[in-house]
């Protein structure tokens, strides 16, 4: 049975059992700082588990998940993955153990027709209720029921003794028995044995306790069910595959990799790992995570680089991972059709990162030389091992490559020190994939009030009631003049910060009692107004008037509507691959980050600005409508793809030019924007550009500022504004001529100093060392002087340095007779370039370097003399 059929069968089965089918959440969990990526199906239901009423008591999902805690096992075992889909059914204070067990058993044995005698179960050793359900009601023979302890059958694992605090409970797992022919062959073998005979299929968590900080387990008033079953593992079981990688979820990708390899290069473990990592990085990018050196982006970068190294080992040296994205997109098209629409964009992100890593590997010699420079004179194998790990962790530099280079340089390395750092990194990865702190935070309780009714799409003010006042993180009954606090109202016109749009400001008023709202945020479904009492006092249950700052709101709306027009214009000019990566919508400006892999040309910028202003002048209608998420997607509305959208969404349409899912505030007509002006454009990170712009009065001010600057330049140059470019070109040419004249004069002046340099040469180990610093001299002149000195000298090493425009410059020349004796200018420059904060290279007879520490030039010259003293005439 194919995986997409299994997924649908699971969801259809639970839909028939009155479960709400909830769409998979993003891999980037919203408002959940406890994890980097979504690690399980239950994460998006934290509020429901805490008693929040979302309108349903039962749910089922096929949730995409990403974990890195067992990264080094991926490809080596039958079922470890970084990316996987977790099938799960959930009950929030509705059904409990018996029904959860019966539903799971019915799905496996009746829906999938798995033979009952092939299934074993485990229960928590101190859960007699669970044991009796399986034994007496489901009628599973006692021989196939195993009692296990806190580590295996309590969630979170060992929570009773180690925490975290919050909801927890016993588990019951269902295993498939592959038979005695597989595994250890011992007669007493059962699911507690790790021999591979028994494969865990489904984990049923019975959340019935609340762990307190004292370690007490108190019964929950409402008990919950949380289950998880890996689609990949279930597919392997139903397709009779020996492991997860031999299922239809991986085979198309593996075939693509194998086709590019020679028959002798078919290392299955590496191929499996590449196929797995491709899925992880592709879905992470799909959910808006781009390669970087921080947090989630670091994980994506690391997985791409590990894959590149695996591919190199397999014999593929050029970028290749990006070519596999179409095969993945086709495999997942039934449940993730958007993946195929964005496969080109995802491929480009991966390709850019692969190229960057290839450059790093090709530059490994320079990186290693720079990193281990101090080790030539100070051997420390343990420190070398730690540094080798840093290079592995930062650049993806393989230990084998580093160790080989160190061997050539006769530098010892401790592999034990490297391994110790690796173990520490694995522990950190495991910690990042696990939940931190309490399972559910206090914020998840929604302050104990109902959902705030938002009126701000149609109203700038509202008569409302104070439901709660929070002061110093505690509930307060009253606040007085000068006190800061947060106020929760039953309804409000204040828009909370969301989707890049800043929160509203304004006032909450009761007669002469005024609370200044400085910011508005949202926690769950509750809107929180933060600020200070300007005058008088306010108390809980007061009837008040909530009034937003209207002109500020209109300025924000101008920028938000303009952001939609900007995205439409970018897609027209640069291509449909443009996808929003982030935004800021404030009163004075807008910022829009988007995917694009080339520098944006000046004419492209001008064209985008022209299109947006044209759409403004045409006074297009801006329309907002509520639709179901499915209807919105079918209509072609663009989504900010890592946002979590509810069942009903708001679609903002601008008369055929733009259609986006957006909860922000907008204008009614585009002409209300007034003027659109691009302020800045540049790169944020690899594959992501940023554009900043202003609208309305702010755009006008920016335009006038530009005109004022242009007028000043025109006056200074004494030419009309239209001829400034021509005048600057003339001045540029004149400057170049003057620089040439100055260089020629400098060279003539230096030629007269050559004899002086020769006279002041220092004899070290029978070698003439000519060392001098020449202020404010560019590299070309230093190079020419070295050549002139070498023409008049023999048996000489010439080193000249200069502080040129805040940069340290060094050149070293070696006469041909010394080159024949083994003296190498490139090695000498390598030995001293680090002192000036840089690096260098060259030939045996000439080398140069640059650095950012010109204050150390004297030290560099002295160090060179010391090196010559130590090496003697042989160099």
Angle at 756 between CA 751 and CA 760, to 5 degrees: 140
498 secondary structure, DSSP code: B
Half-sphere exposure of 416 (CA within 13 A, CB side): 3
- Rounded to whole angstroms, the Cα distance separating 274 from 279 reads 9
Residue closest to 808 by CA, chosen among 846, 778, 830, 841: 778
Enumerate long-range contacts of 445-450, CB under 8 Å, 24 or more apart: 445/50, 445/51, 446/47, 446/52, 446/523, 446/524, 446/525, 446/526, 447/488, 447/523, 447/526, 447/528, 449/488, 449/526, 450/490
CA distance 296 to 495: 29
> Which of 555, 507, 570, 510 minimizes the C-alpha distance to 536?
510
Report H helices in 498-549: none
Are 329 and 343 in contact, with CB atoms under 8 Å apart? Answer: yes
779 is written with which tokens? 């590299």
Q: In the prediction, which pLDDT does 442 show?
A: 44
> What is the phi/psi pair of residue 231, to 5°?
-60, -40
The DSSP code for 620 is: -
Could you give the angle at which helices 251-259 and 268-286 cross, rounded to 10 degrees?
120
Question: What is the crossing angle of helices 364-371 and 399-408, to 10°?
Answer: 70
Encoded tokens for 600: 């944006």
Buried/exposed code over 562-571 (b: 16+ C-beta within 10 A; e: otherwise): bbbbbbbbbb
Q: Tell me the C-alpha distance between 332 and 132, whole Å.
A: 40
- Asked if omega into 164 is within 30° of 0 (cis), the reply is yes
The SS3 assignment for 453 reads: strand
Task: Answer positive or negative: Cα dihedral of 329, 335, 341, 343.
Answer: negative
- Listed in order, strand segments (DSSP E) in 596-657 are 622-628, 648-654
Q: Can you tell me whether residue 575 is helix, strand or coil?
A: coil
Q: How many CA atoms lie within 13 A of 88 on its CB side?
A: 28
| φ, ψ (nearest 5 deg) of residue 648 | -105, 135
Please list the residues that pair with 485 across neighbouring strands.
531
Nearest partner of 664 among 576, 746, 560, 801, judged by Cα: 560
pLDDT averages per 10-residue partition of the chain, 875 residues:
95 97 88 80 84 87 90 83 96 96 97 96 96 96 95 88 85 94 87 89 93 85 93 95 94 93 78 96 91 83 90 90 96 91 88 87 76 70 84 75 80 85 70 49 58 94 95 92 95 94 96 96 90 96 97 96 96 88 92 88 94 96 90 82 69 93 94 94 82 93 88 88 87 84 73 78 89 86 87 90 91 92 88 87 89 91 88 50
Cβ distance 283 to 88 under 8 Å?
A: no
Which helix (DSSP H) or strand (DSSP E) does residue 208 occupy? strand 198-211
- Closest by alpha carbon to 544, among 462, 482, 621, 478? 462
DSSP, res 137 = I
Alpha helices in 675-753 (DSSP H): 696-717, 724-751
> What are the phi and psi torsion angles at 184 (to 5°)?
-75, -25
172: left (phi over 0), alpha (psi -120 to 50) or beta: beta
Q: How far apart are alpha carbons 250 and 244 in whole angstroms?
A: 8
Nearest alpha-carbon partner for 562 in 573, 550, 574, 554:
554
**CB 58 within 8 Å of CB 89:** yes
Q: Residue 37 and residue 281: Cα distance in Å, rounded?
A: 12
Pairing state between β 846-851 and 838-842: antiparallel
- Output the six-digit token pair for 179: 């038979």
Long-range contacts of the stretch 53-57 (C-beta < 8 A, 24+): 56/20, 56/92, 57/91, 57/92, 57/93, 57/94
Instruction: For residues 349 and 370, give the distance between their C-alpha atoms in angstroms, rounded to a whole number.
Output: 29
* Partner residues linked to 841 by β-bridges: 848
Asked if residues 569 and 616 have their Cβ atoms less than 8 Å apart, the reply is no
For residue 325 the two structure tokens come to: 């994205």
Q: How many CB atoms lie within 10 A of CB 332?
A: 22
φ, ψ of residue 597 in degrees (nearest 5):
-110, 15
CA–CA gap between residue 75 and residue 277 (Å, rounded): 10
């Amino acid at each position: 049975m194919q995986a997409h059929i299994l997924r649908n069968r699971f969801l259809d089965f639970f839909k028939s059992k009155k479960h709400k089918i909830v769409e998979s959440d993003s891999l980037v969990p919203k408002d959940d700082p406890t994890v980097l990526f979504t690690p399980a199906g239950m994460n998006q239901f934290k509020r429901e588990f805490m008693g929040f009423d979302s309108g349903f008591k039962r749910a089922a999902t096929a949730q995409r998940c990403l974990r890195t805690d067992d990264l080094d096992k991926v490809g080596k075992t039958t079922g470890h993955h970084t990316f996987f889909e977790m099938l799960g059914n959930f009950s929030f204070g509705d059904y409990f153990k018996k029904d959860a067990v019966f539903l799971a058993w019915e799905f496996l044995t009746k829906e999938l027709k798995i033979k009952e005698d092939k299934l074993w179960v485990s229960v928590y050793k101190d859960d007699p209720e669970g044991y009796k359900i399986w034994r007496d009601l489901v009628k599973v023979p006692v021989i196939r029921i195993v009692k296990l302890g806190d580590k295996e059958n309590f969630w979170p694992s060992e929570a009773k003794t180690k925490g975290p605090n919050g909801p927890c409970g016993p588990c019951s797992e269902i295993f498939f028995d592959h038979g005695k022919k597989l595994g250890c062959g011992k007669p007493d073998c059962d699911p507690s044995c790790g021999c591979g005979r028994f494969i865990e299929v489904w984990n049923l968590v019975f959340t019935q306790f609340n762990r307190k900080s004292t370690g007490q387990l108190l019964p929950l008033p409402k008990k919950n069910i949380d289950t998880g079953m890996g689609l990949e593992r279930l597919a392997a079981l139903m397709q009779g595959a020996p492991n997860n990688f031999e299922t239809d979820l991986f085979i198309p990708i593996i075939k693509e990799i194998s086709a590019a390899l020679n028959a002798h290069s078919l290392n299955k473990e590496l191929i499996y790992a590449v196929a797995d990592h491709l899925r992880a990085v592709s879905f992470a990018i799909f959910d808006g995570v781009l390669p970087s050196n921080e947090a989630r982006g670091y994980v994506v970068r690391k997985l791409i680089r590990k894959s590149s190294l695996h591919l190199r080992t397999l014999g593929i040296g050029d970028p290749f991972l990006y070519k596999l994205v179409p095969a993945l997109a086709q495999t997942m098209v039934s449940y993730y059709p958007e993946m195929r629409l964005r496969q080109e964009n995802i491929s480009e992100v991966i390709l850019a990162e692969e190229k960057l890593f290839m450059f790093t590997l090709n530059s490994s010699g320079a990186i290693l030389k720079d990193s281990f420079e101090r080790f030539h004179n100070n051997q420390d194998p343990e420190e070398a091992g730690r540094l080798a790990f840093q290079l592995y962790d930062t650049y993806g530099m393989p230990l084998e490559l580093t160790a080989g280079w160190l061997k050539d340089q006769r530098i010892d390395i401790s592999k034990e020190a490297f391994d110790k750092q690796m173990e520490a990194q694995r522990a950190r990865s495991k910690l990042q994939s696990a939940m931190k702190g309490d399972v559910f935070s206090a914020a998840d309780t929604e302050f104990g009030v109902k959902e705030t009714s938002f009126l701000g799409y149609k109203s700038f003010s509202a008569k409302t009631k104070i439901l709660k006042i929070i002061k110093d993180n505690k509930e307060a009954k009253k606040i007085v003049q000068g006190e800061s606090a947060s106020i929760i109202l039953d309804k409000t016109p204040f828009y909370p910060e969301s989707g890049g749009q800043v929160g509203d400001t304004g006032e909450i008023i009761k007669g002469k009692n005024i609370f200044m709202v400085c910011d508005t945020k949202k926690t769950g479904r509750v809107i929180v107004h933060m600020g200070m009492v300007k005058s008088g006092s306010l108390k809980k249950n007061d009837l008040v008037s909530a009034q937003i700052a209207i002109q500020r709101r209109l300025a924000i709306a101008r920028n938000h509507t303009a952001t939609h027009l900007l995205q439409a214009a970018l897609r027209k000019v640069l291509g449909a691959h443009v996808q929003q990566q982030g935004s800021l919508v404030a009163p004075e400006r807008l910022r829009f980050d988007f995917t694009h892999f080339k520098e944006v040309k000046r004419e492209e910028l001008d064209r985008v600005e022209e299109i947006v202003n044209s759409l403004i002048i045409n006074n297009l209608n801006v329309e907002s409508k509520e639709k179901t998420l499915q209807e919105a997607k079918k209509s072609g509305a663009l989504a900010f793809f890592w946002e979590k959208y509810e069942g009903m969404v708001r679609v903002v349409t601008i008369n055929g030019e733009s259609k986006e899912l957006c909860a922000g505030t907008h204008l009614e007509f585009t002409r209300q924007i007034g003027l659109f002006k691009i302020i800045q454009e540049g790169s944020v990170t690899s594959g992501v550009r940023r554009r900043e712009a202003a609208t309305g009065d702010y755009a006008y001010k920016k335009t006038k500022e530009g005109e004022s600057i242009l007028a000043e330049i025109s006056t200074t140059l004494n030419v009309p504004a239209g001829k400034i470019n021509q005048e600057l070109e003339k001045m540029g040419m004149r400057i170049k001529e003057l620089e040439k004249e100055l260089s020629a004069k400098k060279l003539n002046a230096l030629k007269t100093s050559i004899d002086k340099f020769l006279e002041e040469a220092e004899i070290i180990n029978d070698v003439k060392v000519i060392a001098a610093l020449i202020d404010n001299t560019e590299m070309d002149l230093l190079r020419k002087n070295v050549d002139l000195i070498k023409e008049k000298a023999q048996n000489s090493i010439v080193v000249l340095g200069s502080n040129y425009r805040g940069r340290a410059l060094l050149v070293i020349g070696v006469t041909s007779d010394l080159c024949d004796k083994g003296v190498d200018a490139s090695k000498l420059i390598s030995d001293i370039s680090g002192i000036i904060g840089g690096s260098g290279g060259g030939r045996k007879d000439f080398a140069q370097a640059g650095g950012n520490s010109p204050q150390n030039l004297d030290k560099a010259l002295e160090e060179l003399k010391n090196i010559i003293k130590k090496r003697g005439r042989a160099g």
